[in-house]
Amino acid sequence: MIWALAVAASAQQAGVVKEIVIRGNHRVSKEAILAAMRTKIGKPLNMEDLGRDKQSLEDLGFFSAVDPRAFPAELNSYTVTVDLQEWPAIKEFRITGNTVITTAEILKALTMKVGDVYNLNARKTSGDAIVSLYTKKDFFASVDDFSPLPESPGTINVHILELRVGQVLVRGNVHTKDWVMRRLIKTRAGDVFSGEKWNKDLTRLHNTQWFDSVQGKSDDSSVEAGKVNLIADVKEGRTGQFNVGVQLDPQSSLAGLIRLSETNLYGTGKTVNLNFTQAITGGGPSVDLGYVNPFYDAKDTSFQASVYSRLTYRFGTSFLTGTGTPLNNGTTYSERHSGIQAGFVRPISGLWSVGLSGKVENVITSNTGALPVNSFIQQDGDIGVLSLSGIRNRRDVDIDASRGDYVKLSIEPGYSDITRVGGATSDNHILGRNTFLRNTAELREYWSPGQKPRGTDFEATRRVVAARIKYGWIDGQVPYFEQFFAGGPDSLRGYDPDRFWGTKTMLMTLEYRHPIQKAFNIIGFVDYGGAWGGYGAVNSYSQDARFRLHLGFGPGLSFKTQFGLIRVDLGFNERGKSQPDFLIGNSF
């Protein structure tokens, strides 16, 4: 029996294929089918090749069934039939399960289109395209069905399984209330998981500066398929401070200070602070009492208010250089601003927020005995300013950005009632009641060339290129102290504080910040800016009536301390003179 089968198989192998009959194909050409087969007319029939042909035709992806068979024909020849069942032509796609990406976007991403023959290979490619579309938008999904409907073969059902959030857990907050954490974390159980949204939640926690560390984790081991638990691990830091010491300020020289602050009052996120300073230059103390509520209402409106009586020292002698005043006897004059300020900021989208604030204050100028007789800088009286602003913030981290941008547009209508102008000046039109409109536009950009996005690694050192451009103009009659001033550590370095003033200003800054250690950066900067179109000169402080900008440049150092970022810059001006500048915080 075994011998007989072997003989029959040998005879069959020796037979020649006389004809190949293709049946059931409607849209796929006979030529394409024959090209995919090893079995050829005129060649000996090989049953192993016929089995491979079945697999090859199935691999084309166009057929739901493939049945190749060989039948004896004339002596020592065979007819091969290939019965096929094509997948249907696509009449429509039925997309289900998508919530965060539109059906139109998904249809555009598909490699298969209406009118094509459904194809298993193209199904995989289209499914991968859907997953890639979700990934590009920082979501995660899988395609668990991409097949014709039994009751309507021309309709392709595409069901998407979006990864959703199971639970959002916070660990490590002892002082901070749970409801505060829920206000800061916007991701909710049941949401489609967004890596971008979760990173923003963690960044928002970091930006409060209430925590020494913020880490995000995920866990999908204890939830049903298609869900993930999110965990925010935080380590609370010290939010209350009581400081007694000295303060170094390029304008007010050296001052004693008492500072009491709490930035997370009773764990509610509210801030209260009391500042008291007394400069060695005299003029009396400065007192400031402030309050901030970041959760004023259910829409995350923040409210802040302060009551103050502050001294502003104009043309201050720098403690670092012992120079800086243009006045004859080397003294500085001061302005005491006493008043109240309050305002609201409300987010209106994921990136934009609007602010509305106002201040009312009384200004009294002191120590003006050394001023020239034509002085205009003593302008005492009352002032009120309303501010409407729009802010778009796309920085990765507010405190020390390495990527993104920041835009602020503001309009500030103001009212002044000046009752006294110092000196024998003829410029008395500022006396009495006047109105003005101050407008400002500012753009900041940050790049980390050659480095991956920071993500939630907030402590990672970064090489940063930072740029800023700011422009402002004022219409109407504005008091001297409400003009734009340029010069000093946070504007135009290499020049004395308040060196230039006017009703128009422009400032452009470019910085490169290079990390040497985790808490230490070296910096190179270029400032180009100024102010013009305002009141006249004061001794050596000549001014420009028309547009003119000035150059400042130099190196700097920054240090991260428990009190915040501290910067020391050495600025050179366009005349080659240098001016050291000291600043708490970043320049921008």
**Whether residue 249 is found in the same domain as residue 198:** no
- Model confidence at 251, pLDDT cuts 50, 70, 90, reads low
**Whether residue 60 is found in the same domain as residue 123:** no
**Whether residue 217 is found in the same domain as residue 314:** no
pLDDT of the residue at 316: 56
- Single pTM value for the model: 0.79
- Model confidence at 320, pLDDT cuts 50, 70, 90, reads very low
Domain limit, last residue, from 186, 208, 236: 236
**Whether residue 412 is found in the same domain as residue 561:** yes
Question: What's 198's DSSP letter?
Answer: H
Average pLDDT value for the chain: 88
**Whether residue 412 is found in the same domain as residue 284:** yes
Cβ-contact 193, 134 below 8 angstroms: no
Q: For residue 426, what are the contacts with CB-CB under 8 A and spacing of at least 6?
A: none
**Whether residue 267 is found in the same domain as residue 230:** no
Domain limit, last residue, from 130, 162, 194: 162
Give the percent of the chain with pLDDT over 90: 67
Domain that holds residue 78: 2-86
For the ranges 180-194, 422-436, 549-563, the maximum mean pLDDT occurs at 180-194
Domain limit, last residue, from 139, 162, 185: 162
On the CB side of 455, CA atoms within 13 Å amount to 9
Tens digits of per-residue pLDDT, 343-372? Answer: 999 999 878 999 999 999 999 988 766 555
**Whether residue 331 is found in the same domain as residue 368:** yes
Return the CATH number at 514.
2.40.160.50
| Measured CA distances, 306 to 194, 263, 301 (Å) | 38, 15, 17
Three-state SS string over 87-140 comes to CCECCEEEEECCCCCCHHHHHHHCCCCCCCECCHHHHHHHHHHHHHHHHHCCEC
**Whether residue 381 is found in the same domain as residue 465:** yes
pLDDT of the residue at 319: 44
Return the CATH number at 183.
3.10.20.310
**Whether residue 103 is found in the same domain as residue 69:** no
**Whether residue 246 is found in the same domain as residue 229:** no
pLDDT of the residue at 243: 82
Total number of domains constituting the chain: 4
**Whether residue 259 is found in the same domain as residue 155:** no
Coarse DSSP helix, strand, coil percentages of the chain, rounded to the nearest 5 percent: 15, 50, 35
**Whether residue 171 is found in the same domain as residue 151:** no
